[in-house]
Chain A
Amino acid sequence: MNVLTRRVASSTLVISRGWLLELRQLMRSRLYLVTAVILPLVFASLAHYMFAGSHRTEGPLVIALSAGLMGMWSTTLMGSGSAINRLRFMQVLEPLVACPTSTFLFSVPFALATASMGIYSLGATLVWSTLFFGMPVELASPLLFAVALLVTVVSLALLGLLLASAFILYPTAQSLANFFEYPIWMLSGVLVPVSSLPEPVRYLADVLAPSWGVKAIMRSATGEGGTLPAVLACSLLSVLYALITLILLRRFEWLARSSGTLALQ
């Protein structure tokens, strides 16, 4: 038991240190910060102006939340892809894989750091929306909202990690990150409810953790029922993603070692 506690403690330390380090790396680029400030505004404005004059009854809160989630997802995807690429470019990916800490442990902080930027991006969108588009600041149940948000962020981070583990193997996979952006918006039901998707595609949305997260966030904000089941579904799927990532990383690491793509640019 004692050994287990120590291992958990040291892993927590590795993850939190890595998270801080990665956040600092992201913050160092002034332009990344400018992007992080402007992008949510662009998404929020795009959503608001597109819905202006529409017969749809989505309130400004739902629109703002959707825009925020779009930004959150973009930040996470861009972040996990570029984190691996940056490591490759600085030629530290190989020594990192070679060190005794598992690849999973050192990649979790990247995903968490970019997802934290994602939370910020959601926050910024909400602030912009209250300032410019008259969004009401009231949330139906703030506590549930906070829980839903936290679970969604973790689920996004883990999905990003799942993709990032592929980036370790395929240097060009970062370009896939951009590709996944729109489909995942669509499947998670931001701006347009999942119910308007064609039937078979809807099942795909059901296995996507962030889409449950989006449901949970929306429901807790508007006061609809059913927040907790959505939170639960999102968490379970996230755990599943983490497990798949663990298996994949082992497999990918082996494949990358045998194909020699770790060092490639």
Chain B
Amino acid sequence: MWEFVNFYFIPGLVLGCIYALGALGISLTFGILRFANFAHGEIMMLGAYFTFTIMGLTGWHPLVAALPSMALAALLMLYLDRQFFRPFRDSPTIMLVIASFGLMLMIRSAVWVFYGTQSKPLLRGFQRPTQYLDGAIQFPDKHLWIFLTTIVIMLAIWYLLTRTKIGKAMRAVSDSPELAKLTGIPVETVIRATWIVAACSAVAAGVLLAIDSQLDSLMGFKMLLPMFASAILGGIGRPFGAVLGGLVIGVAEELSAYPWIGVEPLLNPAYKTGMAFAIMVVMLIWRPSGLFKGRVF
């Protein structure tokens, strides 16, 4: 029983938190800019590399070093939007998908030029799990940081979207861009705000993933499929649906390796990503609008 919690459920929640943070940005940009942003995973990865560099320069803790990297990534994202996405605002959205696809490869190859392809640890040394409830539940401190960071960021984004003017404007544009424009909402400002939120949450997801495992130039690409699956499961344009979707898919991926029948893992752990894909396919067939009645384009 406790083995199940410690080795399957808690790691699933950790993974789910990371997916949730990533999927949140994808769902927001999909809802507001109306295209699937393939470069989102690479922003995650790039943010983690920024953090790595800042840690090397200052010796700060990764979660502290993540703050300036968020600012850097947000600035970069605004620049990339101006250069590569804004020219296509009035074009069919598939052009934006192609542009983001190109951006994905550009960001990754830029990281390869500067950092190489070798993966590196963000945190050195092995962390012994801390014990709770007389040793029944145990997980390393880094998992606690991941939970807490995710909760803090979620609360901040929830506040932004429901209590501030710009957040309400973002939701309005997501619901109907034409109507929002007619009521005088500055759509370009909303788009910029969306990129900033997406970049910051992506960097958070990237840094947490690098803390949990390690820094790897392909980590963003590997996250892309589960993040899209989470966004679709929750409903496109429903940020909190995406969060729930991320948690469900993270837990489902880890639980798929649990020996439910007999002693062998139910699904070879190498196929964990397959779980996300399977969930996505089921949603696309059964209910493309997701659990929370998101948009279908």
Partners in one complex: no
Q: Taking beta carbons and an 8 Å cutoff, which residues of A are in contact with B?
A: none
